[in-house]
Structure 1
Amino acid sequence: MRSRRRVSGRKLPGMYQSDSFFTLSGAGQIGLVAVSIAFALIVAGIVRFLARGRPWALRIAIWAALFFVFVWLSPQGYYAYYRLIFDDLPRQWVIQAPPRPAELAALLTFSVRASLSFHSQGVLGWALLLVALWPYRRKMPQRSGLTPP
């Protein structure tokens, strides 16, 4: 049986035992989750806005482009959060070369090293695809003089 490290009285799943998320304080973890949710909602809103009413192929292209941009640029946003909670981090750019298509595919197939960061990017990628492909309803103009029941 595997030994499991305890954090805050909880047992950690084996694959995430060494994840850096668990080195943060409880408040740091809550803040990181809040930042992640905010980033996810922002990028999902952008995907939805740009994909609405577009042909399916264009919706997929929009999804792929925005997922690519998120994976490439979001580390800077997360680093800004870490600078808020750790006083000794220097002011610097952490954005590296753009991800290759194989790296994006590895994220989406969850075949990258087991970490909450990589797996959450994979989940976000699939969620953004659902957002891009989700059918939408056009608002019907109301007829003058008639009120809905």
Structure 2
Amino acid sequence: MINILAFLTAALWVVWVRRGSHHTLWLIPAALFAVMLATPPFWHAALAGYPKDSFWTLGPSGRAGVVAIATSGILAIFLMISAKTRALFSLGWPRMIALPIDIATGLLMFGAIYSLSPQAFYAFYQLIIPDLPAQWVIDTAFDTGRIRHIVHIGPDGSMSDHLAGIGFWAVWPFTFWLHFQPDARRG
């Protein structure tokens, strides 16, 4: 699980480092990095290279495709969260009301998109794995079991689980920092 003290320390460090930057895009890797720093199970598995992970059973082009889909998906999720936050700003709500609603909505958005993501990966696998049948691989639009699993970020998690969990937890600092951007139209 994520170490809360390490998470707060990492988040404060990232805020200090990015003091002069006003670009929302910078906040995406900063939020992801802050959560990575606060997640020892991720470091241990990453340093070991995830040797038993199914990612390594793919060829170089398969791995590149998976990385491209995952990176595009994370970027799209966080850009949608940013757009949602800007829309919420336009309502003029006080930050004490808007911020918790914004974070909760961002987590729900992440969960819904994450729940649907296996279909995108499966469609890609159909391109690279011969004779893979056409099928629907997701059970529900919001898979609470899968979400609970990735939120845990356990030591035995796969690379995919860890990175999804890091993305989920990064919604918190990302949304928080959006609310405290110098150009955020907040009172």
Q: Same fold (TM over 0.5)?
A: yes
- Bigger helix share: 2
Q: Per the shorter chain, which TM-score range?
A: 0.7 to 0.9
Deviation per CA, 1:21-56: give whole Å up to 9, x if none: 000001111111111100111111111110232610
Instruction: Give the corresponding residue for 1:82.
Output: 125
Give the length in aligned residue pairs. 126
Structure 1 outlier segments of 4+, above 4 Å: none
* CA distance, structure 2, for counterparts of residue 126 and residue 79 of structure 1: 25
Q: Give 2:69's match in structure 1, choosing from 24, 32, 35.
A: 35
Structure 1 residues 1-149: aligned runs within 5 Å: 13=48, 16-52=50-86, 53=89, 55-97=98-140, 98-100=142-144, 103-111=146-154, 113-134=156-177, 135-136=180-181, 137-138=183-184
TM-score (norm 2): 0.60
TM-score (norm 1): 0.74
Distance of aligned partners of 1:128 and 1:138 in 2 relative to their CA distance in 1, 3 Å threshold: closer
**What is the percent sequence identity of the aligned residues?**
32
* CA distance, structure 2, for counterparts of residue 36 and residue 77 of structure 1: 10
Residues 118 and 137 in structure 2, CA contact (< 8 A), matched pair in contact too = yes
Identify unmatched segments of 5+ residues in structure 1: 1-11, 140-149
The structure whose Rg is larger is: 1
| Higher RCO (Cα < 8 Å, 6 or more apart) | 2
Residues 103 and 171 in structure 2, CA contact (< 8 A), matched pair in contact too = no
Identify unmatched segments of 5+ residues in structure 2: 1-46
Deviation per CA, 1:86-108: give whole Å up to 9, x if none: 121111100124322x6534422
Distance of aligned partners of 1:50 and 1:57 in 2 relative to their CA distance in 1, 3 Å threshold: same
